[in-house]
């Protein structure tokens, strides 16, 4: 390796020494409540496949069917190669599902944020960003030439103080927040954020990645959950979590979407979603629109799991959603915990600093509608036995 590249191996070695090197497991089959890793079956408590749609036969069938009619790829960026009607159809479905005038799709939720922040703000503007916002929001803010001001996590007083402090500054203002914070499962105080934005003349963008398919009527998301239709300027989202596929969403007014189609760089310089992804997502939306059964099952499972974990003495934090953090304290404890679970057939990853604050290392348990009561009982029993062995619970 060239001398100038040596820093990479040095950094990797350092990460390994400090226990920061991530060991990525290889799945040899589909996502689901049970997964296969190296030929062995595991109870899966890690994925964001909230509704179990990643391997739903109805979703898979649609992806297969569409390939016969449209092939697999979009050819080039939409502004040059043209757009397929199926992408527009998916966007109409998304807008209807989310209750907005319009929506645009991009390649991923990450790209959704990159499509918004640098496009709606620029030099001389201000972005007010929650301290615990997702990395893709942080990167998108960096990509905008606007100045980003971090407010304390879900602290509306701090947000208002910062808005007030800059009330006479020229330029546009944008408040951006995660809808559901993924490590703790708490929900953004969107009604208060919207009220502050209205008072101070700021735009609001919410990244509903963990809210779509989870919050609101039939999983219609955080805006529906709070009944804020028409008052949230920009909704960003992903089809990689509850939808079970992949793809990014930006939803809002027809003008916003028209503006992004013309100006957002992930639309101008990166090709559209693949054909099977588009079809699979359409099937996923139709399943959600047809019935809220999967969403109810997800919440039932979440409530049940939290109650059972608490009975065994675990600290499950203050989640308001099916996301269930089992907080164990030190990073090494969380890693030992995860390794012991894995030995017993449970896949549940440890989440440590810097993803969460020091001293709050955890196993983040992700339940889904695909889990049965037996799956959850088995998981809880194994958590309890490992917890006792490690002296975390009595
Ligand atoms: C997962 C997530 C993303 C990234 O979505 P992808 O579609 O996987 O790129 C963006 N924002 C938030 C808040 C997320 O939780």
CATH (domain of 48): 3.90.1150.10
pTM beyond 0.85, yes or no: yes
pLDDT of residue 85: 97
Question: Among residues 231, 263, 290, which one ends one of the domains?
Answer: 290
pLDDT of residue 229: 97
For residue 6, the CA-to-ligand 1 centroid distance in Å is 32
Is 80 exceeded by the pLDDT of residue 2?
no
| Whether residue 311 sits in one domain with residue 259 | no
| Whether residue 91 sits in one domain with residue 146 | yes
Q: Cβ < 6 Å from ligand 1: which residues?
A: 108-110, 134, 136, 178, 182, 207, 209-210, 238, 240, 248
In a domain, 372, yes or no: yes
Q: How far is CA 30 from CA 178, 276, 370, in A?
A: 28, 16, 13
CA 333 to chain CA mean position, Å: 26
In a domain, 10, yes or no: no
Domain that holds residue 345: 21-55+292-389
The secondary element (H helix, E strand) that includes residue 236 is strand 234-238
| Whether residue 303 sits in one domain with residue 174 | no
| Whether residue 209 sits in one domain with residue 66 | yes
Write the residue with the smallest CA distance to atom 15 of ligand 1: 209
Write the residue with the smallest CA distance to atom 12 of ligand 1: 209
Instruction: Express each pLDDT in 74-120 by its tens digit.
Output: 999 999 999 999 999 999 999 999 999 999 999 999 999 999 999 99
pLDDT class of 353 with cuts at 50, 70, 90: confident
Question: Average pLDDT, stretch 273-280?
Answer: 98
Sign for the pseudo-dihedral over CA of 111, 150, 125, 235: positive
Instruction: Express each pLDDT in 188-226 by its tens digit.
Output: 999 999 999 999 999 999 999 999 999 999 999 999 999
Edge-first strand order for the sheet with 361-365 is 324-329, 361-365, 350-351
pLDDT of residue 1: 63
Question: Among residues 240, 263, 290, which one ends one of the domains?
Answer: 290
Is 70 exceeded by the pLDDT of residue 304?
yes
Of 155, 183, 189, 212, nearest to 319 by C-alpha is 183
């Amino acid at each position: 390796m060239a001398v100038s590249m040596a820093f990479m191996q040095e950094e990797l070695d350092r990460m390994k020494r400090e226990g920061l090197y991530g060991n990525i497991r290889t799945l040899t089959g589909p996502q689901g409540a049970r997964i296969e890793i190296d030929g062995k079956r595991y109870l899966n408590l890690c994925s964001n496949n909230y509704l179990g749609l990643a391997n739903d036969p109805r979703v898979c069938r649609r992806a297969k069917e569409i390939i016969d009619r449209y092939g697999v790829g979009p050819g080039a960026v939409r502004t040059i190669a043209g757009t397929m009607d199926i992408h527009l159809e998916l966007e109409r479905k998304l807008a209807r599902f989310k209750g907005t005038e319009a929506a645009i799709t991009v390649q991923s939720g990450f790209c959704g944020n990159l499509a918004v922040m640098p496009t709606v703000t620029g030099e001389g503007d201000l972005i007010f960003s929650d301290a615990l916002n997702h990395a893709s929001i942080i990167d998108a803010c960096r990509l905008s030439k606007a100045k980003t001001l971090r407010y304390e996590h879900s602290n509306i007083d701090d947000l208002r103080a910062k808005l007030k402090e800059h009330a006479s500054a020229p330029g546009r203002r944008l408040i951006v927040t995660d809808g559901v914070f993924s490590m703790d499962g708490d929900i953004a105080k969107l009604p208060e954020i919207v009220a502050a934005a209205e008072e101070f003349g700021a735009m609001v963008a919410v990244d509903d990645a963990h809210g779509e398919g989870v919050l609101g009527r039939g999983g219609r998301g955080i805006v529906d959950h709070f009944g804020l239709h028409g008052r949230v300027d920009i909704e960003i989202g992903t089809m990689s979590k509850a939808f079970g596929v992949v793809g990014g969403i930006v939803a809002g007014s027809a003008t916003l979407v028209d503006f992004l189609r013309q100006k957002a760089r992930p639309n101008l310089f990166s090709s559209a979603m693949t054909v099977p992804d588009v079809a699979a997502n359409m099937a996923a939306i139709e399943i959600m629109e047809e019935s809220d059964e999967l969403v109810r099952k997800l919440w039932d499972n979440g409530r049940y799991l939290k109650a059972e974990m608490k009975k065994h003495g675990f600290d499950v934090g203050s989640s308001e959603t099916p996301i269930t953090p089992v907080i164990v304290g030190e990073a090494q404890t969380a890693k030992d915990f995860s390794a012991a679970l894995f030995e017993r057939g449970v896949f549940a990853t440890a989440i440590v600093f810097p993803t969460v604050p020091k001293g709050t290392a955890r196993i983040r348990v992700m339940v889904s509608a695909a889990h049965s009561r037996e799956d959850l009982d088995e998981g809880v029993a194994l958590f309890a036995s490992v917890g006792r062995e490690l002296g975390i619970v009595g």
